[in-house]
Amino acid sequence: MRKLFSILLAAGLVFCSTEALAQISVGAGYSNVTQKIKAAGLDKSISMNGLYAGMDYTIPITENIGIAPGLYYEFSTGSANKLLNLGSVASAVLKGTLEEHYIDIPFKFMFSIPYQGNRFFAFAGPTASIGVSSKLKGDVNILGFKLKGDLLDMYDQDILESMDLMLGGGIGADISNLVRVTLGYNLGMFSRINTEGQANQNQTENESGFNLGQLIRDNATINRNQFYVGVAVLF
């Protein structure tokens, strides 16, 4: 019994010491999102600029190794004035902007080295990205259907998936244990096209002119990649 109590006490002391060293960082930054569109004979990209804000909770495992789960909200927008000739699908002329909102949940594995009162680190890990909204705003002309001033909701129309998994990494520095600067890049692992949306193809074509079934048959993919740089305050 005494031995069990000693083990529990030691575990509790380790947990308390880890909690004492754990840090919360709250910050914001700039992101550049690239939507890569590929289909038969097509390889194009839509570039979007955005802002994000949120927090990380850094938990040290050893002096140099730690983990950092986080929670962020991201907004990005970009010109949709592209001629998207998706394989055998007729041309779609988009005159307006694509606006997207996401909740990102990163889980980072960190390796850090202290140097002269600062700490420099590298990190890598997955990010679960949950789409809140994805809308085309402005003048949209898709397959002859004109939606001047209307909205095309990519999720409501079952055109895009709202869930994505990203893998990435980056580098950063904790300056004087007060400010954290981070630079990173994420690669989207899954195509964003909603392959299950073919069941709603007729509704989608009638309301938006977007031929989802044809996109699926053409093996089209849309992947979201993200570069970001941010500043956070350490607590």
d(CA 143, CA 145): 6
pLDDT higher at 135 or 220: 135
- Name the pTM for this structure: 0.78
What pLDDT, on a 0 to 100 scale, did the predictor assign at position 147? 59
Domains and CATH numbers, the chain: 23-234 (2.40.160.20)
Residue found by looking up tokens 């809308």 in the block: 135
pLDDT bucket at 230, cuts 50 / 70 / 90 = very high
pLDDT bucket at 14, cuts 50 / 70 / 90 = very low
CB count within 10 Å of CB 206 equals 9
Residues 6+ apart with CB under 8 A from 144: 90, 209
CB 58 within 8 A of CB 21: no
- CA-based R_g, the chain, Å: 22
Q: What is the pLDDT of residues 38-61, one digit of tens each?
A: 877 667 788 999 999 999 999 999
Element holding 129 (H helix, E strand): strand 118-142
d(CA 140, CA 172): 41
d(CA 142, CA 206): 11
Helix (H, G, I), strand (E, B) or coil at 144: coil
Q: What is the pLDDT of residues 24-38, one digit of tens each?
A: 999 999 999 998 888
d(CA 149, CA 147): 6
CB 94 within 8 A of CB 54: no
Backbone φ and ψ of 63, nearest 5°: -65, -30
